[in-house]
Amino acid sequence: MLSALTEQPLLIALLALLSLGGIFGALLGFAAVRFRVEGNPISEQINALLPQTQCGQCGYPGCRPYSEAITAGDAINKCPPGGEETIQALADLLDVEPQPLDAEHGTEKAPVVAWIREDECIGCTKCIQACPVDAILGAAKVMHTVIADECTGCDLCLDPCPVDCIDLIPRKEGIAFWHWSLPTEETPPVDIIASDSRSRDAA
């Protein structure tokens, strides 16, 4: 019989491919059952990349709902506080093309923190209830103040305040936050050994 088979090269090729397909299919099926992972870890990973301001500018009520929406296929360019860096990180994680920030959802601004003008605060606790990360210290009829280190700058506290005494001030100003920026073609020839700070704007 074998000799009869060897005279049919097409048949042999077909049999070989079918058996290979069968073997690998069985292996994959086994792996799908044996190594199954519950839940969707991608959602967690996406959430870990988002800036956690819980501001809602993306259109979702918080970062986790947005991360779940991205898992379901939504665009990755809706997060202004995350900015370009977050879009790039998401693109790397999900292996998609990075896109510029969707202007409909806001523009990338310098990081800010909220600051309460204490002279005007009436102690109503509305801002405390609004803060998604409990970054405002205070109680009813007691002075409210923002814990700057915990504040994400989401600006959800500005609307509820009845006396409008909350400002958003830049978080990263001053020498302690300055660092060099990457040379570009437009940067005038920078001295390798001594740099001319006049020709570069403080980043």
Partner 1 sequence: MREIHDIHGGIHPPERKSLSRPGELRDTPLPAHLILPLRQHLGVPAKAIVNVGDTVLGGQVLAQAQGAMSVPVHAPTSGTISAIEPRPIAHASGLADTCIILETDGADQFIACEGIPEWQTVAPSLLVERIREAGIAGMGGAGFPTAVKLNPGDSKPIDTLIINGTECEPYITADDTLMQCQAEALVEGAVILAHVVGAKHIVIGIEDNKPEAISRVTSAVQDASAEIEVASFPTKYPSGGEKQFIEILTGQQVPSGGIPADIGLVCVNPGTAVAAKQAIIDGKPLTHRIVTLTGEALGKPGNVIACIGTPISHLMGDAALSAEERQRIIHGGPMMGFAVSDLDAPITKITNCLLAPTARELPPPPPAKPCIRCGHCAEVCPASLLPQQLYWYARAKDHEQLSEHRLLDCIECGACAYVCPSQIPLVQYYRAAKGQMRDSEQEKRRSDNSRERFEARQTRLEAEALAKEAKRAARKAAAQEKAAQNGEDPIQAAIERAQARKIEQGES
**Which residues form the interface with partner 1 (CB under 8 A)?**
47-48, 50-54, 62-63, 85, 88, 132-135, 150, 152, 174-175, 178-183, 189-198, 202-203
Longest dimension (CA), the chain: 100
Cβ proximity to partner 1: between 105 and 171 the closer is 171
Quote the least distance from Cβ 118 to partner 1, whole Å: 22
Quote the least distance from Cβ 132 to partner 1, whole Å: 5
CA angle 153, 156, 157 (to 5 degrees): 90
Quote the least distance from Cβ 196 to partner 1, whole Å: 5
Cβ proximity to partner 1: between 8 and 199 the closer is 199
Cβ proximity to partner 1: between 24 and 177 the closer is 177
Question: Are the CB atoms for 12 and 6 separated by under 8 Å?
Answer: yes
CB atoms within 10 A of CB 124: 16
Cβ proximity to partner 1: between 51 and 116 the closer is 51
The CA-based dihedral angle spanning residues 4, 8, 12, 15, taken in that order and rounded to the nearest 10 degrees: -90
CA distance 151 to 113: 6
Quote the least distance from Cβ 85 to partner 1, whole Å: 7
